[in-house]
Chains A and B, each alone.
Chain A
Amino acid sequence: MKRALPALAATAALVPTLAQARNVTLETTLKPYGGNGAYVALYLTDAAGKYKGTLWMAGEKSKYYRHLSDWARASGARTAEIDGITGASVGSGKTLKISVDIADALIDAGYKIHVDTSVEDGMDNPSEVVALLDAASSGKVLNGEGYVKAFKVTF
C-alpha cells in the first residue's frame, strides 16, 4: 500500500518537502490468533514520548478505537488524525504493509513508531511494539507481545 499521507503532511513537520523526505516501509505481520480482523494503529512519538502523528489506522469503526488505548490517549482519538489514512482491519496471520514518506529530520532523532493492536473479544495491546526510527535498524525484525508476530521498518 502506497499512500501520499495528506494528513501527515498537514499536521506535523514530518514532510517539510518531499526532497528532504525518505520513503519508509512498515511491515506488520500478525500471529495466527484465529479471531476476527485486528485493529492496528501505527503512530509516531518524539524523543520525549510526545505524540507526533498517526501513520496508519487499520480498522474503520471509530467506536472500537478506544481499545487502541495508547493511541487513543495520545491522539485524543480524533478522526481528523486518521483522515485519509484508514484501511481495513488486518486478518489473523496477515501482513499489513504500508509506505510513508518521513522527513529526514525525524530519522535518527529519537522518534519511535508505536503499534497498538486490538481484537474483538480478545486482547487490547497498547504499544505492543515500540520501534526506534533509526536508519541503522532498517530491516530488523521486532516481535510484539500481543498479536504482532513480526514488525519491520525498512528505509
Chain B
Amino acid sequence: MSNKELRIALAGNPNSGKTTLFNALTGSNQFVGNWPGVTVEKKEGKMKGRDGIIVVDLPGVYSLSPYTLEEVVARNYLVDERPDAILNIVDGTNLERNLYLTTQLIDLGIPTVVAINMADVVRKKGDHIDFDGLSKALGCKVVEISALKEEGIDDAVEACIEATLKAAESKKHLPMHSFSGAVEHALAHIEEVTVHNLPAEQQRWYAIKLFERDTKVLDALKLSDETIAHIEEDIKACEAELDDDAESIIINDRYEYITRVVRKCVKKKNASKLSTSDKIDRIVTNRFLALPIFAVIMFLVYYISVSTVGAWVTDWTNDGLFGDGWHIAGSDEYDAALDSYGNEMLFENTELKDIILSANENGVLGAEELNIAFADKDYGAFTEAYGSYGEKLAAEGFSVAEIVDPVLEGEPSPADYGTWVPGVPALFDKLLLDENGEPVVAEWLYSLIQDGIVAGVGAVLGFIPQLLVLFIFLAFLEACGYMSRIAFMMDRIFRNFGLSGKSFIPILIGTGCGVPGIMASRTIENQNDRRMTVITTTFIPCSAKLPIIALISSALFGGAWWVAPSAYFMGIAAILISGIMLKKTKAFSGEPTPFVMELPAYHMPTLGAIMRSMWERASSFIKKAGTVILLSTIVIWLGSKLGNTGDGFGFALDMELENSILGYIGGAVSWLFAPLGFDSIKAAIATLMGLLAKEEVVGVFGVLDFEGMSALEGYSFLAFNLLCAPCFAAMGAIRREMNSAKWTAFAITYQCVFAYAVSLMIYQVGMAFSGGLNIVGLVCAILVAALIVFMLVKRPYKAKNN
C-alpha cells in the first residue's frame, strides 16, 4: 500500500451526504446542496492527514442502470476504473431505498464498506439498526457515521482500508445475496459462456447485466451473435418460468432481499407515525398552501436582505466606510448642528422656495422630492435630492446651484463633532492631499484614484452586507431542505404547462451565480428542455445583480419593501412565461422530461456550514471587485476623460460626458433605450458594462454619479438589466452548453428581446398611468403584451404524424 495510492470511491443515493463526507475527508470546500443532482461529475481529492489515499466523490445515483447522466458517470468510473474500495454512503433514515444501490455495488466485486449516515437522526426517531446483523446479511463491513458532524468517519476509512487489504489477499468475492433458483441457474450459464475469462470478482456483475440485457455491457463485451443467442435462450427460459421480464425479475428479487434484511435488522419505534419532516411537508408542499408559503418565504428573504438588515449595514458601508466617515459618538450633536445650519441658510430662503415650487408645478423630475424635503426642513433629504436631481432642475431652467452650492461648501464638518472615523475616501485624501487641500500628486492621478477606483470599487463593495444577509438565507434554505421542496412544487406547476420541474434545479443554483446554474442544466436528458433551461436560467437574479436591485431600491424608491422581492418574482415569472411560450414552438415542443426526486428530511444546518457557504460566495464577490471591477472602473474613468476637448482629441479632467469616448459610445446606443425610459448616456454605458460583470452596472454609477432617473425609469432600467443578456462568463457557459453558435445567438437574442419587451411594457404603461402618456409607445406595449398573451394561450405545436 505504501507504493500504491489507494482509491476510495464515495457512492450512494442522491442527497445521502457524499459531498459533505468528501469535504470532511479531504478538507475541500465543494458545493453541498440539500437537493439531488448537485454533483454531476466525479471529483477527486487527497485525504487530509493520510498519505496515499485518494477519495473520489461520485454523483448520487439510485442504481447502476445507464439511464441518466449521473448513472453513466458513476457506473463508468466504478466498472472501467475499478477503485480499490467503495465507501457506500447510506441514508439511515431511508434504508430500504438506499440498499438497492448497495446490492448492486456489492455485486461489482469491489471491496465495499457501507457507512450508515444520519444514524443520529435514526436514533432520535427511536429506531434501532442492528449494524452487526446488517453487516452479516450484506457480507460487508457496516459502520455508523454522521457526515455533517464528522463523526465515525475515521472508522469508516479504516474499515475501507481493511476491506481492501483483505480483498487483495483473498482475491475472492463471495456475494451474500443469492437470487431465486431460476435466476441463479441462468446466471451460472451466462458466466460460463461469456465472462469466464474475466477476473473472478467481476464475473457476477457482468452476468447479471447480461441477464438484464444491458445494451452498454453487451456492446462492451463484443459478444458474437451466436453467444448472444445462446444466453438469450437461458434468459427467456427464466422469464417464462417467473412470468416477468428479466430486468423486473432482478429488481423484484433485490427488493425482496432488501425487505428481508431490513425486517431482520431494523426495529422501528413508530412505523406508522408521520415523521416531523412529513408533518412539515403536509403544510409546506400542500397543493394550495405551497405557492403562498414559497412566495412569503422568498419575499421575506429579499425584503430582509435588501430593505432591512442588509440596508442598515449597507447605509453605513456606503455613507460611512466608503463615504465621508461615521460617528462613533456625537452624531446627535452633529445632526442638531446640521439642522440649525439648514434652517438658517436654506429653509429661510424664499427665493429658493419659489424656484422649487415653480419647478414642482412644472412637473420637473426631482422637484417634488426637493419640495417635500424643503417643507419638512430635512437638510439630509434635501441635499440628497439636490445631488440626484440638481442638474435636471438646471437643465429645465430652474437652477438653484447658485443658492445651494455655497451652502453645501460651508456646512459644518462632521469631524468637528464627537468621535469621527473618516471613511476610505477620506483616508486616501489624507494620503493624497496636503494641508491646503491640494493634491500632492498630479490632479489626474488624484481623480483616477478617488473618482475612479475608490468611487467605483467602493460602490460595489458597499453592497456586501446585503449580499451576506442574502447568502445566509439562501445557504439556510438549501441546507435545511426547503430548496428541494421548491423544485418539487415548481414541477407541479411547470408540468401543467408541459414543462419539467427538473428545469428548476439549475435555476435554484443560478440564484448564486448563473454560470453553474447553466452548467447544471446538463442533467436534463431531453435536448429541447435542456436548451430552454439554458435560455431561462439567468432570468433569476444572481448575486451580482443584487447590487443593482439594492441601488434602485434605495436610491429611487427610498428602500420600499416591495422592490427587491418584486425583482425575484419578476425572474420567476419571466422563466415561467418564457418556458410556456417557447414550449409552444416547434423547436421546443415535446413531452417534458420526467422528474423524480426524493425529498430529504428537514434538518437544522450547522452554523459552520452556513457560514462556510456564505463566505465561499462572498469571498468570490470581493475577489471580483478587486480584479475585474477595479480594472473596469479605470477604463470607465479613462473613457470619461478622453475625448473631444474642443481642440481635437485629448485628455481633460473636466471633460463633459457627452464629448468623451464613453459619451460617444453611450450616445450611439442610448436611443435604443429611449422607449424604455432610460436614454441617458450613463444608463446606456452601465447596461453595456454590465455585460462584463453585472456588478459593474453599479460600479459605473459610482464613477459617473447616479442621478436624474425617475422611479419608473429606474424600475424599467432594473427590469432590463435583470432579464437581458447575462455577463460574458455566463454567455460562455451558454455557448458551451448549447454547443452551437446558432443556438447561443438565439439564446442571447431571446433574452435581450424579452427584457426589452418587459421594460417597454413597464415604462409605457407606467407613463400612461402617471400622466405622461405616449400613444405610440403605449400601442407598442399593448401589441407586445397581446403577442405574449397569444403565445401563452395558443395551442402547443404537435408534429403531424402524432
Q: Is the pairing of A and B real?
A: no
